[in-house]
Structure 1
């Protein structure tokens, strides 16, 4: 009689654990974006007070390459350019529901910034220009940590000089 009650309990426990922790694939593509808030604040301050910045001086993590994708850039092409998939979903259920659209910008003022180290994504975040008022002007949407010096100028594209354009310094 006890064994009949234990099997359903074990089954329910395994299902709950599956939905909490997910699959090995989910665990292998999961990243944390905790460092973005620090980067966002430093980048905002630096772009408002300087005419040049080096992104390496603003990051608290190690990285080799950075990609910045403009509004409406297709997620499949993002994964192709970066060379891998990732998720910042905190739960497996969230991953199942939103992975097909989570790294896709869907508004005119949304950009996706992705930092990569040794072919691993170390930070990825969609930001709005209201949140982080900078536009990276890049060829092929990419720059490397050994060439992360940018010139800052006020964007002519937006009113009141609130938005800054960052272009790579030669």
Structure 2
């Protein structure tokens, strides 16, 4: 009985760490794709309009944009739930905006955008504008 319990526990922990690693890899790829699209659009104009559907291939219900130095409490209040990873984005002390994609009252994905690219402004469910500062 103990052996089955230990094997089950090891399997569950393995799945957890594999899933966490996969999620971080997806987040990094999403970030890279978003910044690439911003750079491409900024070559055309000082206001880059990014079609989020062309960059991200997952579903979301809502998008939120948080400016640098936004407090985690303010983020959680705006989202309507506690986002456990909000502090890890460095938003409170960094120079990055954070764009958060929410599905079913859970963060589906997020990307950070350094202020050197400009300030993102959410236009509608599918578009975000980044205005150079």
Q: Could you say which residue in structure 2 is the equivalent of 1:112?
A: 98
- Higher share in helix: 2
Counting only pairs closer than 5 Å after superposition, residues 1-170 of structure 1 correspond to structure 2 as 7-22=1-16, 32-33=26-27, 34-56=29-51, 58-61=54-57, 62-85=59-82, 99=85, 101-117=87-103, 119-129=105-115, 133-136=117-120, 138=121, 143-145=123-125, 148=127, 150=129, 152=131, 164-165=132-133
Task: Quickly say closer, same or farther: Cα 1:12–1:119, change in 2 above 3 A.
Answer: closer
SS in 2 for 1:50: coil
Unaligned runs of 5+ in 1: 1-6, 88-98, 153-163, 166-170
- Count of residues paired in the alignment: 125
Larger radius of gyration: 1
1:115 Cα deviation after fit:
2.3
SS in 1 for 2:70: coil
1:44 Cα deviation after fit:
1.8
Question: Deviation above 6 Å: which 4+ runs of structure 1?
Answer: none
| Aligned counterparts of 2:88 and 2:94: Cα–Cα separation in 1 | 16
1:46 Cα deviation after fit:
0.8
User: Could you state the TM-score of these two structures normalised by the residue count of structure 1?
Assistant: 0.52
The 8 Å contact of residues 75 and 103 in structure 1, kept in 2 or not, is answered as no
SS in 2 for 1:125: strand
